[in-house]
Chains A and B, each alone.
Chain A
Amino acid sequence: MSSLASSLQHHFTDFKQQKESVVLGMWSFLIQEVMFFGGLFATYTVFRSQYSHAFAEASGLLNVNLGGVNTIVLICSSLTMAMAVHAASKGKNGGIAFWLVLTILFGSIFLGVKVVEYKEKWDHGLIPGIHDEGLRFDHETHQPRPTGFWLYFALYFAMTGLHAIHMIIGIPILATLAINGLRGKYGPEYYTPVEMTGLYWHFVDIVWIFLFPLLYLIGAHGAH
């Protein structure tokens, strides 16, 4: 009970007030994140509206199967994260660690698949700033790429890269929570860190929910 008492900060009247403040504070951070990613989504909208054919053609070079599998993997990690918060609310400290380790596992699979995809793009010479030739001309047909083709890949790497950085930041936080869970630092009265990290992790999932159709699927019906 002493560790629980110490988790109530002195400037709050009670746990309920502290909890409400923390939840609103976390959402304020996430709204800032919406605007952070929003700039990239707005840039994407502007350039895709101008170069829709180049974007569809470039999107057709992505691996829809890997992207789709990764989407499911990330949804799995959101489920396990929700289960970790649920275990925490019931005071099951072993459950917190179990579900968080699964979340880390799914997050790592996602990042691993991302590495494979980035490697593919490297091999095909599609990295802006490095493979200027590959972005100007098709290797096989030697036909020039359409105007705006490289912009798609610049945005692809900026958006998926920023998303991946968020996951790379999230994983050590999840690991810390799992260890704290095993040390019995949380109880049904106080598990706010698990819940707030859950909000962050789900937010990252939502970003991917939009990235997947916007980046992977716009060339899927072969509009040439």
Chain B
Amino acid sequence: MDATTHHEEHHGPTVKMYFAIFAALSVLTVATVLAAKFDFAPMLGVGLGAFVNNAVALGIACTKASLVILFFMHVKYESKLVGLAVVASVIWLAFLVLITMTDYLTRTSDWHLFVR
């Protein structure tokens, strides 16, 4: 850890910043509810509309998670090694979901009939 990160670590987020993050998280929570109630399908068509609804919901959730990780969990003020660990977890999770979906989304058999 170099001198500048150590310097920052000593300061950390201020109380004012914690409350500002809290306010941002609350506003984003209201925003995600309003966005979910808004149907993009009439404007963009069923497929694209659903995609936009999902993208907005996940985009807001990722923004909220990033705020919590960077400020409440102090990752912004930790060593780069901790930041790397956090990024690694996101990449692993992306592998898990994306590689699984390359299988299920390309199946042509009626595997879903096993579900009642």
Q: How far is the CB of A44 from chain B (nearest CB, A)?
A: 9
Report chain A residues within 8 Å CB of B86: 27, 31
Check if A23 sits within 8 Å of B36, measured CB to CB.
Answer: no
Check if B26 sits within 8 Å of A223, measured CB to CB.
Answer: no
Given contacts A45-B97, A209-B61, contact A82 B18 (CB under 8 A): yes
Report chain A residues within 8 Å CB of B15: 83, 86
Q: Is A205 an interface residue (CB 8 A)?
A: yes
Which of chain B's residues 64-115 have a Cβ closer than 8 Å to chain A? 64-65, 68-69, 71-74, 78-79, 81-82, 85-86, 88-90, 92-93, 96-97, 100-101, 104-105, 112, 115
Report chain B residues within 8 Å CB of A28: 85
> A223: which of B39, B73, B93, B97 is its contact (CB, 8 Å)?
B39
Q: Is A148 an interface residue (CB 8 A)?
A: yes
Check if B112 sits within 8 Å of A50, measured CB to CB.
Answer: yes
Identify whether the interface residues of B are mostly helix, strand, loop, or mixed. helix
Q: How far is the CB of B20 from chain A (nearest CB, A)?
A: 11
Q: Is A182 an interface residue (CB 8 A)?
A: no
> B41: which of A34, A39, A148, A223 is its contact (CB, 8 Å)?
A223
> A35: which of B65, B69, B96, B115 is its contact (CB, 8 Å)?
B96
> A23: which of B30, B82, B88 is its contact (CB, 8 Å)?
B82
Identify whether the interface residues of A are mostly helix, strand, loop, or mixed. helix
Q: Which positions in B face A, CB cutoff 8 Å?
A: 1, 12-13, 15, 18-19, 21-22, 25-26, 29-30, 32-33, 36-39, 41, 50, 53, 57-58, 60-61, 64-65, 68-69, 71-74, 78-79, 81-82, 85-86, 88-90, 92-93, 96-97, 100-101, 104-105, 112, 115-116
Q: Which positions in A face B, CB cutoff 8 Å?
A: 20, 23-24, 27-28, 30-31, 34-35, 38-39, 41-42, 45-46, 49-52, 64, 68, 71-72, 75-76, 78-79, 81-83, 86, 89, 147-148, 150-151, 195, 198-199, 202-203, 205-206, 209-210, 212-214, 217-218, 220-223
